[in-house]
Amino acid sequence: DTAVSQTPKYLVTQMGNDKSIKCEQNLGHDTMYWYKQDSKKFLKIMFSYNNKELIINETVPNRFSPKSPDKAHLNLHINSLELGDSAVYFCASSQSSTPSAQYFGPGTRLTVL
Amino acid sequence: GQNIDQPTEMTATEGAIVQINCTYQTSGFNGLFWYQQHAGEAPTFLSYNVLDGLEEKGRFSSFLSRSKGYSYLLLKELQMKDSASYLCAVRRHGGSQGNLIFGKGTKLSVKP
């Protein structure tokens, strides 16, 4: 069974469009994250949600909005897509009560044309 | 601020031992993680150190010196499948629970 899943795996779209990426975890974790990995493979935190509350926003443009309907899901909505948004986006989850590792989803490769 | 440095690339021979170093400067240090990432795949957790010393897990070991801001990942009996990027990540205290700051990764190539 997949622990952290994301859909879609690939997303190709035009500049200016709005798109969403979905993430679900079945590990019972209370914290979920979104990371962006650029073409140079640098992995950078974007958002973190703990018990459905945003606790990090690392200066990400407000075109990016995370939405967490419950603690097993953290979706990422992106408005007015730009060329520079092309990257691989990873969802991850962890349990905050223990210093546990973060478990990553398979990633969504976003290409903006 | 925070800064994490690790070599960009390394090459080693199958069956050998390789050590990947990571140095960091950060406030509120609360542990160091190593992740493995194969090309086109997600990072997977390898090890975690929060106290000084060596943590061993099979062929992989990780060492931490908090006073020196230094860690290394030791891979023994290298196999071809160990060719991957190895990411050092530092966790911080504070309201951003579990906040990980990643280094840029070390791409390891294992040759026959």
pLDDT digits (tens, 9 = 90+) for A17-52: 999 999 999 999 988 999 999 988 889 989 888 876
Q: How confident is the model at residue B88 (pLDDT cuts 50, 70, 90)?
A: very high
State the pLDDT at residue B98: 63
Q: How far is A81 from chain B (nearest CA, A)?
A: 23
> What is the DSSP secondary structure assignment for residue A102, as one 8-state letter?
P
Pairing mode, strands A10-13 and A108-112: parallel
CA-wise closest residue to A55 among B38, B80, B94: B94
Rounded Cα gap, residues B71 and B50, in angstroms: 11
State the pLDDT at residue A54: 81
Q: How confident is the model at residue B94 (pLDDT cuts 50, 70, 90)?
A: low
Three-state DSSP class for B82? Answer: helix
The more confidently predicted of residues A47 and B35 is B35
Residues facing B90 on adjacent strands = B32, B101
Q: Are A45 and A59 in contact (CB under 8 A)?
A: no
Q: Inform me whether the pLDDT recorded for B79 exceeds 90.
A: yes
Q: Are B93 and B105 in contact (CB under 8 A)?
A: no
Other beta carbons within 10 Å of A35: 26
User: H or E stretch including A32?
Assistant: strand A31-37
CA torsion A76-A77-A82-A88 (nearest 10°) is: 20
pLDDT in tens, A71-113: 899 999 999 999 999 999 999 998 876 667 889 999 999 999 9
State the pLDDT at residue A1: 63
| Mutation to test the A interface, candidates B6, B33, B51, B97, most A Cβ within 10 Å | B97
For range A55-59, the mean pLDDT: 72
- Provide DSSP, A82-95: -GGG-EEEEEEEE-
Rounded Cα gap, residues B99 and B29, in angstroms: 11
Q: Which of A56, A90, A99 sits opposite B42 (nearest CB)?
A: A90
For range A49-76, the mean pLDDT: 85
Q: Inform me whether the pLDDT recorded for B84 exceeds 90.
A: yes
CA-wise closest residue to B99 among A59, A75, A31: A31
Question: Which residues in chain B are closer than 8 Å to A89, comparing Cβ atoms?
Answer: none
Rounded Cα gap, residues A98 and B102, in angstroms: 20
- Of A50-54, A97-101, B27-31, B34-38, least confident by mean pLDDT is A97-101
B83–chain A Cβ distance below 8 A for any pair:
no
